């Protein structure tokens, strides 16, 4: 029997150009963003703001930090309710809980996006939505924004899986008030750790720059609003240090520039897998709406019969194909399910639970090629015929 032997977590090397830039930073000794002149971090902020069409960008220590910073800037604090997806990764409810707020979980649909009917039903409970584009699936954004605007809900977008994606040609992260991205190794650019924030709102930008720890040097942010804006917030924002350093910005700049080419490579692999899984019995792929320009850095399937999942996943794993299952009793690796978040009040989420117990997920690293996708598809189809047919 065929076996797949490549690693699902193996990354491509960092581009040579980025290594050279990082070496220059190391030789200079100027690793702190506000000590470097010119600053790699400031240049990264200029580039990312331009790429997303945002007025302001801020580079920070992680995607989780970005979300927490966004919530603080919006004035979310102790005891406040924040709406968020019931299907997302632990850093999302974690960022909400870390500012003392209370996640209110909203059901997701079989298409893995927020259930807009449940959002509408819960809209009165909070004034902020942390919208997670989990695994790169983007909800109908005009419909979501209409609900949130009608209820005066500020939207923060968690774009950890949608950096480079868009809905109706408008970038993910640019629909709500604030967009948050992760530059962690397993997302779309690789700095080890890191985060980016974008917004058009000058006051929110100033608040987040001050929050992230700018000392008196906030004007050196690459896209800083004017002194008059900072004057409104100076002294009112607690310093919660979470800056990005020069080394990581140096590594990221060429990667951000080359993101569109990487997205095209991811999507070619994704489509090869999606086509390859098409003939497998007992499985279905997640439909991708016409308006959604996604980044296929992972692929999800729904198994028709939840009871068959463990044997099917074990059969694939024995042949080197590592599905993550969101229905397990315990979180494994990067999987995460709401009932494992013991710091969040338990929620009754029958629709989400009925989906998670059938949901499996495969990472699509760029170290794979078309032959790898064909082999994975063959193994999955054979195991499906055996366990799900
Ligand atoms: C990775 C991830 C984040 C945050 O990432 P960090 O590891 O804190 O950079 C946020 N949301 C989702 C859905 C993620 O997968």
Q: pLDDT tens for residues 339-366?
A: 888 899 999 999 999 999 999 999 999 9
- Ligand 1 pocket test target in 65, 160, 193 with most atoms within 8 Å of CB: 160
Distance (angstroms) between ligand 1 centre and the Cα of 91 equals 6
Q: How confident is the model at residue 238, as a pLDDT?
A: 96
Q: How many CB atoms lie within 10 A of CB 57?
A: 26
d(Cα 279, Cα 158) in Å, to the nearest integer?
A: 33
Residue 325 has pLDDT above 80, yes or no: yes
Q: How confident is the model at residue 215, as a pLDDT?
A: 85
Residue 332 has pLDDT above 90, yes or no: no
Residues paired with 362 in a beta bridge: 299
Q: For residues 163-170, give the mean pLDDT.
A: 98
Residue 99 has pLDDT above 70, yes or no: yes
CA 335 to chain centroid, in Å, comes to 14
Query: Which domains can be identified in the chain, with CATH numbers?
Result: 16-257 (3.40.640.10), 259-387 (3.90.1150.10)
Which residues have any ligand 1 atom within 6 Å of their CB?
A: 62-64, 88-89, 91-92, 132, 134, 158, 160-161, 182, 184, 187, 195
Read off the tokens for 242. 């979470």
DSSP, res 243:
B
Band of pLDDT at residue 190, cut at 50, 70 and 90: very high
Q: How confident is the model at residue 113, as a pLDDT?
A: 98
Band of pLDDT at residue 265, cut at 50, 70 and 90: very high
Q: How confident is the model at residue 389, as a pLDDT?
A: 85
Band of pLDDT at residue 243, cut at 50, 70 and 90: very high
Distance (angstroms) between ligand 1 centre and the Cα of 46 equals 23
Distance (angstroms) between ligand 1 centre and the Cα of 378 equals 31
Q: How confident is the model at residue 380, as a pLDDT?
A: 98
- Ligand 1 pocket test target in 64, 132, 139, 363 with most atoms within 8 Å of CB: 64
Of all residues in the chain, the percent with pLDDT exceeding 70 is 99
Q: How confident is the model at residue 335, as a pLDDT?
A: 62
Band of pLDDT at residue 22, cut at 50, 70 and 90: very high
In terms of pLDDT, which residue wins out, 27 or 329?
27
d(Cα 104, Cα 341) in Å, to the nearest integer?
A: 12
pTM, full prediction? 0.97
Q: How confident is the model at residue 334, as a pLDDT?
A: 59
Distance (angstroms) between ligand 1 centre and the Cα of 28 equals 31
End-to-end CA gap in the chain = 19
Residue 248 has pLDDT above 90, yes or no: yes
pLDDT digits (tens, 9 = 90+) for 101-117: 999 999 999 999 999 99
Atom of ligand 1 minimally distant from the CA of 65: 8
Distance (angstroms) between ligand 1 centre and the Cα of 335 equals 12
Distance (angstroms) between ligand 1 centre and the Cα of 289 equals 24
pLDDT digits (tens, 9 = 90+) for 37-55: 999 999 999 999 999 999 9
d(Cα 281, Cα 304) in Å, to the nearest integer?
A: 9
In terms of pLDDT, which residue wins out, 332 or 146?
146
pLDDT digits (tens, 9 = 90+) for 62-94: 999 999 999 999 999 999 999 999 999 999 999
d(Cα 345, Cα 153) in Å, to the nearest integer?
A: 22
d(Cα 361, Cα 96) in Å, to the nearest integer?
A: 25
Of all residues in the chain, the percent with pLDDT exceeding 90 is 94
Protein residue closest via CA to atom 9 of ligand 1: 63
Residue 247 has pLDDT above 90, yes or no: yes
DSSP, res 61:
S
Q: How confident is the model at residue 96, as a pLDDT?
A: 98
Average pLDDT, the chain: 96
Protein residue closest via CA to atom 6 of ligand 1: 63
Q: How confident is the model at residue 271, as a pLDDT?
A: 98
Residue 140 has pLDDT above 70, yes or no: yes
Atom of ligand 1 minimally distant from the CA of 195: 9
334-337 own/partner pairs: CB under 8 Å, 24+ apart: 334/89, 334/186, 335/361, 336/88, 336/89, 336/90, 337/87
Residue 329 has pLDDT above 80, yes or no: no
pLDDT digits (tens, 9 = 90+) for 362-378: 999 999 999 999 999 99
Distance (angstroms) between ligand 1 centre and the Cα of 382 equals 33
157: CB partners within 8 A, 6+ apart: 131, 133, 172, 173, 175, 176, 178, 179, 180
């Amino acid at each position: 029997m065929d076996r797949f032997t490549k690693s699902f977590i193996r990354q491509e090397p960092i581009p040579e150009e980025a290594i050279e830039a990082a070496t220059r930073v190391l030789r200079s000794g100027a690793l702190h963003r506000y000590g470097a002149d010119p600053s790699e971090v400031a240049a990264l902020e200029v580039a990312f703001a331009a790429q997303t069409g945002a007025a302001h960008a801020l580079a920070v220590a992680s995607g989780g930090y970005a979300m927490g910073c966004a919530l603080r800037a919006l004035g979310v604090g102790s005891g406040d309710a924040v709406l968020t997806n019931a299907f997302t990764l632990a850093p999302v409810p974690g960022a909400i809980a870390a500012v003392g707020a209370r996640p209110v979980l909203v059901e997701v649909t079989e298409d893995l996006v927020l259930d807009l009917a449940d959002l509408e039903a819960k809209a009165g409970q909070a004034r902020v939505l942390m919208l997670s584009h989990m695994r790169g699936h983007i909800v109908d954004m005009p419909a979501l924004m209409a609900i949130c605007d009608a209820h005066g809900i500020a939207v923060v977008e968690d774009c950890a899986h949608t950096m480079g994606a868009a809905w109706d040609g408008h970038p993910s992260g640019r629909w709500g008030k604030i967009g948050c991205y992760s530059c962690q190794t397993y997302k779309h650019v690789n700095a080890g750790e890191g985060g980016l924030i974008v917004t058009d709102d000058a006051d929110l930008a100033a608040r987040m720059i001050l929050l992230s720890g700018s000392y008196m040097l906030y004007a050196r942010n690459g896209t800083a609003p004017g002194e008059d804006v900072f004057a409104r917030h100076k002294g009112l924002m607690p310093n919660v240090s979470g800056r990005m350093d020069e080394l990581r910005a140096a590594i990221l700049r060429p990667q951000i520039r080359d993101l569109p080419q990487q997205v095209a490579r991811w999507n070619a692999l994704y489509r090869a897998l999606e086509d390859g899984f098409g003939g497998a019995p007992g499985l279905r792929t997640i439909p991708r709406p016409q308006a959604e320009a996604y980044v296929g850095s992972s692929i999800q399937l729904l198994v028709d019969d939840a009871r068959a999942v463990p044997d099917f996943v074990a059969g694939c794993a024995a042949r080197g194909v590592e599905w993550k299952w969101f229905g397990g009793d315990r979180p494994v690796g990067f999987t995460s399910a709401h009932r494992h978040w013991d710091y969040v009040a338990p929620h009754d989420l029958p629709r989400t639970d009925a989906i998670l117990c059938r949901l499996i997920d495969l990472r699509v690293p760029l170290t794979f090629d078309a032959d790898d996708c064909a082999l994975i598809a063959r193994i999955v189809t054979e195991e499906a015929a055996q366990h799900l047919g």
